[in-house]
Structure 1
Amino acid sequence: MTTTLSTSTHWPTEALPKKWIDDLFDRMLMTFGKRFSDQWQGTDPQKLKEFWGTRMATLTSVEMRSGVEAMLKLKWPPTLNEFIELCRPSLDMTVAYYEAVNGMEARRKGEKGEWSHPAIFWAASKMTHDLLNQTYSNIKTRWENALSKELQKNGWPDIPAVMEALPAPGKTETDKERASRELENLNASGILKKQPGLAWAKKIMARKANGETLPAISVNWAQEAIKELA
């Protein structure tokens, strides 16, 4: 078998671009040589390429590049299903959850976060509050449904840059500024001297005032404890 296409000019409109498939088959031939040609001996090259192009129609150019890079590490040429798996590896929902939590915590610090797949980011962006404030067991079903829904899409927008935190509508200060003000009031009032048991709350408010990203529930507990014991 060679990678030369037949003289037919037909190419399925629903398939990946013809050039992508031509380049892929050329790369496989150059990488695996006779192992590749023997694998498809007796198969019509044109029909084979059309079949691959149609079956891989939902893959993006980024996924194709990832698949080719992974393929170069193999000893034997992949089948169609094996190559699709190289392009779009099955995601472990639990691993993806912890990636989402870490990524969203990073974004609250002004960092982009590390995202192995854009679907994880877009699923996480729809439930950021719950990811950062609830346990995995509490939102496991919702998370898996959200991520599965994202993975069914054919493509995803680029992950946006992190925007600088601004006061919410109707507010005149950010959470960091509010924490700094509350900490100053706490020190000025002498509450901590009267209530040594509030030292833990002061530490939380101080960390928040310094810009550290903390679970909202921890900050709320600290604020409530200060109000109750003041």
Structure 2
Amino acid sequence: MKHALSTLNPTSLAEARPIPRKLIAEVFDRLQAQLGGKMADLYAGADLRLVQDEWGAGLAGFQPKEIERGVAMCRERAFAPTLGEFLRMCRPAVDPEYAWLEAGDCLRQRDAGLVGDWSHPAVWRAASKMGPEVRSGDWRAHRTRWTYNLRRELAAGWGEAPPRPLPAITHNATTRGPTPAERAAMASLSIRARHQEGAQ
């Protein structure tokens, strides 16, 4: 099933600049080391400079850690990735259903006092706006609003990393019965109260 965010428009931000060709060439070298001649086969007959410029534009606004994620995911592939496939490996949160599942898992991590393994701060921001809905796990009921919020947060760019969760406030209070001295004091108060009632 196709989702509204199954493809990415990473240049939606005006300030997003293409990745320099030198860095894209390094990515291509690493992918070629992993996949052998399959990268060359994929782009056979194409001008490699134009291809790398297109990849640089496609990856505009991506963080180095996202590109590293994409390169690492290619180690498990049998075929060289197209630009669109590579973008989705770098930023899996582009798929709203995947991001929904990630948000639910990361919110549970936060409940345990951890920051959470967020693939992109935009997923954290969207989850912060829809915490109860995400925790409900009902994707079908909330997918339209979730997709809308996620799209807006992704368009806002990387932003700040998710903060550490606030420490849980706990108390170690234990209940106990009154001590003998406390029982005696309560009995004395009770007797005094009865005397005052009788005097009235």
What's the TM-score, normalizing by structure 2? Answer: 0.62
Paired position in structure 1 for 2:113: 110
Which of 137, 142, 145 is residue 142 of structure 1 equivalent to?
Answer: 145
Q: Does 1:63 align with 2:66?
A: yes
| Rg (Cα) greater in structure | 2
Identity %: 30
Amino acid corresponding to residue 45 of structure 2 in structure 1: G
**Per the alignment, in what secondary structure is the counterpart of residue 145 of structure 1?**
helix
What is the distance in 2 between the residues matched to 1:52 and 1:134? 36
Distance across 2 between alignment mates of 1:108 and 1:75: 38
Q: Report the alpha carbon displacement of residue 140 of structure 1 after superposing the two structures with TM.
A: 4.6
Corresponding position: 1:26 with 2:29: yes
Question: In structure 2, what residue type is equivalent to 1:32?
Answer: L
Shift of 1:142: 3.1
Match of 2:95 in 1: 91
Residue 167 of structure 2 corresponds to: 164
Paired position in structure 1 for 2:43:
40
Q: Which runs of 5+ in 2 are unaligned?
A: 1-15, 179-200
Quote how far apart the aligned CAs of 1:68 are.
Answer: 0.6
How has the CA–CA distance of structure 1 residues 108 and 52 changed in structure 2, closer, same or farther, with 3 Å as cutoff? closer
Change (3 A) 1:82 1:111: closer
Once the two structures are TM-superposed, the CA of residue 67 in structure 1 deviates from its matched residue by: 0.8
Structure 1 residues 30 and 163, CA, compared in 2 at 3 Å: closer, same or farther?
A: same
Bigger mean CA deviation after superposition, 104-113 or 45-54: 104-113
Shift of 1:145: 2.1
The structure-2 alpha-carbon separation of the partners of 1:35 and 1:92, relative to structure 1 and needing over 3 Å to count, comes to same
Contact residue 70 and residue 86 of structure 2 kept, 8 A: yes
In the alignment, which of 131, 141, 160 is matched to residue 128 of structure 1?
A: 131
* SS across alignment from 2:88: helix
8 Å Cα contact 1:15/1:55 also seen in 2: yes
**Counterpart of 1:192?**
none
Partner Cα distance (2:102, 2:17) in 1 = 34
Number of matched residues? 162
Distance 1:159 1:48, change over 3 A: same
